[in-house]
């Protein structure tokens, strides 16, 4: 790489402007999730920055653009992207004739940009372009840049014209945007006009040196570098964006500790809005919680991610050191207590309390009060992840969260006195306490059920999690009264519509009785949550079986006949399964059985797992019997080993060709027809 003074003088402006465009692009990328207009301005900046990036690459030497980006000039598309931004900015409620003209102009700009891009790409390779060669980006005639300016400048003018019909906040934003463009471009334009008007000034700019020449260069380059940043801020500084969104909380606190007002660093409004939205969701989850353990789990999660605590949890009053002065202070306090070692309270606490705080790395604590005002538990937080102190917003969030939690802490249970158990995140083993005996050492999370379930007689003992999915979570349990293993299916959390859906599944299963359908033994209720007691399949599911290899030809045929009979039985009663797949087929000693009726409904309902649905249903057509038959055919094909197996089996190939026919009318129309086609296949290998 060249390192002389001339090369450095050339590189510094290019590097500064490229960096400015990159920083502006980061601002716009952060804002684009909340306003699509930022995407169009971002595209404009990225295209424009390509010119400076290419100049840097050439100056730095190496193959660079000659190999990787030969003939590729994204800057040709910058005016079109700017026009796309201009028809969206400012936001105007009315749609006038000028808007129609602007949209047509944007289309013309895109056509021109694509034409310039393709022409320059052709010029880089031995492709004849004839007189269009004059449109080359580096052609001395500069027709490329003339067309570039002719397309881009009207777009900026269109923004100003459309602003006359925009609301006042949008007009103010356009004014700031216009000033940013004018301030950035003015020194460059003035310098350019002076060079055109005065040959003497032009010669001086080429060969001149000294403070005056250096000052002009600094002003021109500095203004050009400031233009993308200022114009980006003009867009994102006002609602629906706030510039404080881009100021990290750690920097904000660093400034605040040095005497700078929070209002001066423009920080509170978006943060409060985020906290308010998160708090609303958390309180709704607490309202639906099924006991103190679930409430404590929600609080811990929200304090870690909503407040930024390195660790947080809710501890029972009994877990605070006995005869604790800390607990007495918490009972008398109406606000969270700062418990860092440099705080005012820490030094005056007894040694036992100080040791307990150090052992658990506690920086903040607040009482959780129930309806009678007594302290039922204590929320304790470790240091903030960014190392800063907890501020007023953090304390407000914590206090409000605990107030809502206190109202639900001792809600009477609808049924079942036990609190939620704990389960291993790796093997799913369930225990009453977080100290699990499974030996995985993988950590414990809150389970969806208690360890013992079934009213005052504790009829079921939950052993472990079998699986979880979008429709619920399933546990293995022991029916103590009848001495058999059962599967308990419930909800991971109470949600609108989910309880009704699980009850509908229980009714659907209870009203069906077929050898190839899973048996439901009953329905329990734990703290307002329905729990289905269903047949347990010790051999697992078909998905578990296929993990060890495909089925034989005879097994595939037998499976198809058995499950087609179950679907025929269901369809005759106006019920669809709608989610036939290997994981919903249990393997018992008597044969395969369909299970998981969470999607069963009338014939007008829509269906579930896309991989096992026909194309028309994936496209939005309501499910029918054909959806179940397609799912069963998909299961059989997977069980046979996939389409590769069909090359050597014409009979199976013909069966699946009809089952998966593009035309729905050419497929099997009923389960009976589906089953009748299977016996025609010789089941021998």
Task: Report the catalytic residues.
Answer: 579
Contact indicator for 229, 28 with CB cutoff of 8 Å? no
Using a 10 angstrom Cβ sphere, with 0-12 exposed, 13-18 middle and 19 or more buried, the burial of residue 129 is middle
In the structure encoding, which two tokens stand for residue 66, read together?
């000659």
Give the CA distances from residue 208 to residues 10, 192, 215, in Å, rounded to whole numbers and listed in that order. Answer: 15, 16, 12
DSSP state of 438: S
Which residue from 402, 237, 234, 426 is spatially nearest to 333, judged by alpha carbons?
402
Q: Token match 């409904």: residue?
A: 601
- Rounded CA-CA distance 327/378 in Å is 9
- Rounded CA-CA distance 388/385 in Å is 8
Q: Which contiguous run of DSSP H or E holds residue 217?
A: helix 211-236
User: What is the full DSSP assignment across 265-325?
Assistant: TT-HHHHHHHHHHHHHHHHHHHHH--SHHHHHHHHHHHHHHTS-BSSEEEEEGGGSPTT-H
- In this structure, the strands spanning 529-535 and 520-526 are antiparallel
- CA torsion sign for 380, 386, 389, 390 is negative
In the structure encoding, which two tokens stand for residue 567, read together?
């679907």
Tell me the three-class secondary structure of 93-120, residue by residue: CCCCHHHHHHHHHHHHHHHHHHHHHHHH
- How many separate helices (H) and strands (E) can be counted in the chain? 22, 15
- Rounded CA-CA distance 527/409 in Å is 13
- Rounded CA-CA distance 594/590 in Å is 13
């Amino acid at each position: 790489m060249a390192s002389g003074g001339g090369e450095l003088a050339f590189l510094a402006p290019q590097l500064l402007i490229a960096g400015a465009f990159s920083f502006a692009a980061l601002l716009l990328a952060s804002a684009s999730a909340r306003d699509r207009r930022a995407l169009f301005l971002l595209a404009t900046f990225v295209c424009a920055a390509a010119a400076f990036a290419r100049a840097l690459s050439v100056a730095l030497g190496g193959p660079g653009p000659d190999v990787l980006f030969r003939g590729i000039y994204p800057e040709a598309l910058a005016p079109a992207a700017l026009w796309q931004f201009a028809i969206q900015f400012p936001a105007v409620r009315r749609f006038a004739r000028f808007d129609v003209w602007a949209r047509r102009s944007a289309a013309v700009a895109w056509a021109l940009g694509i034409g310039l891009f393709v022409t320059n790409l052709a010029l880089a390779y031995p492709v004849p372009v004839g007189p269009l060669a004059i449109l080359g980006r580096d052609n001395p005639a500069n027709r490329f840049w003339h067309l570039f300016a002719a397309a881009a400048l009207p777009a900026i003018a269109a923004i100003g014209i459309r602003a006359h019909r925009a609301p006042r906040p949008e007009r103010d934003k356009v004014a700031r945007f216009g000033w940013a463009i004018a301030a950035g471009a003015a020194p460059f334009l003035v310098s350019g006009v002076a060079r055109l008007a005065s040959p003497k000034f032009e010669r001086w700019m080429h060969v001149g040196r000294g403070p005056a020449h250096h000052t002009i260069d600094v002003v021109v380059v500095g203004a050009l570098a400031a233009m993308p940043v200022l114009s980006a801020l003009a867009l994102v500084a006002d609602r629906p964006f706030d510039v404080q969104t881009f100021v990290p909380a750690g920097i904000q606190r660093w400034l605040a500790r040095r005497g700078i007002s929070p209002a001066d660093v423009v920080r509170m409004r978006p943060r409060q809005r985020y906290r308010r939205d998160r708090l609303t969701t958390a309180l709704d989850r607490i309202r639906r919680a099924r006991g103190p353990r679930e409430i404590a789990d929600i609080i811990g999660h929200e304090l870690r991610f909503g407040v930024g605590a390195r660790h947080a949890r809710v501890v029972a009053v009994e877990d605070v050191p006995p005869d604790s002065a800390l607990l007495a202070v918490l009972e008398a306090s109406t606000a969270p207590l700062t418990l860092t070692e440099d705080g005012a309270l820490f030094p005056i606490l007894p040694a036992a309390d100080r040791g307990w705080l150090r052992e658990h790395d506690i920086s903040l604590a607040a009482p959780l009060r129930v309806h009678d005002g007594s302290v039922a538990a204590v929320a304790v937080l470790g240091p903030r992840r960014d190392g800063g102190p907890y501020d007023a917003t953090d304390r407000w969030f914590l206090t409000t969260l605990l107030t809502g939690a206190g109202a639900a802490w001792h809600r009477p249970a609808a049924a079942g006195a036990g609190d939620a158990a704990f389960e291993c995140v790796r093997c799913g083993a369930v225990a009453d306490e977080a100290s699990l005996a499974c030996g995985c050492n993988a950590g414990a999370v809150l389970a969806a059920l208690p360890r013992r379930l079934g009213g005052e007689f504790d009829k079921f003992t939950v052993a472990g999690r079998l699986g979880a999915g979008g429709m619920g979570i399933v546990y293995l349990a022991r029916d103590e009264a009848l001495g058999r293993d059962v599967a308990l299916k419930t909800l991971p959390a109470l949600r609108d519509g989910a309880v009704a859906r699980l009850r509908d599944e229980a009714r659907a299963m209870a009203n069906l009785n077929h050898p190839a359908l899973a048996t439901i033994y009953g329905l329990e209720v734990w703290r307002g949550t329905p729990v289905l007691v269903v047949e347990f399949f010790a051999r697992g599911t078909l998905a578990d079986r296929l993990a060890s290899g495909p089925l034989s030809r005879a097994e595939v045929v037998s499976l198809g006949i058995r499950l087609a009979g179950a679907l025929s039985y269901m369809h005759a009663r106006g019920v669809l399964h709608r989610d036939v797949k290997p994981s919903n087929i249990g393997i018992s000693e008597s044969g395969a059985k369909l299970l998981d009726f969470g999607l069963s409904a009338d014939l007008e309902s829509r269906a579930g797992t896309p991989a096992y649905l026909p194309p028309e249903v994936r496209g939005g057509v309501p499910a029918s019997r054909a959806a179940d038959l397609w799912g069963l055919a998909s299961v059989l094909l997977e069980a046979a080993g996939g389409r590769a197996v069909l090359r050597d089996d014409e009979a199976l190939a013909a069966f699946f060709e009809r089952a998966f026919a593009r035309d729905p009318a050419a497929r099997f129309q009923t389960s009976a027809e589906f089953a009748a086609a299977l016996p025609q296949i010789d089941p021998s290998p």
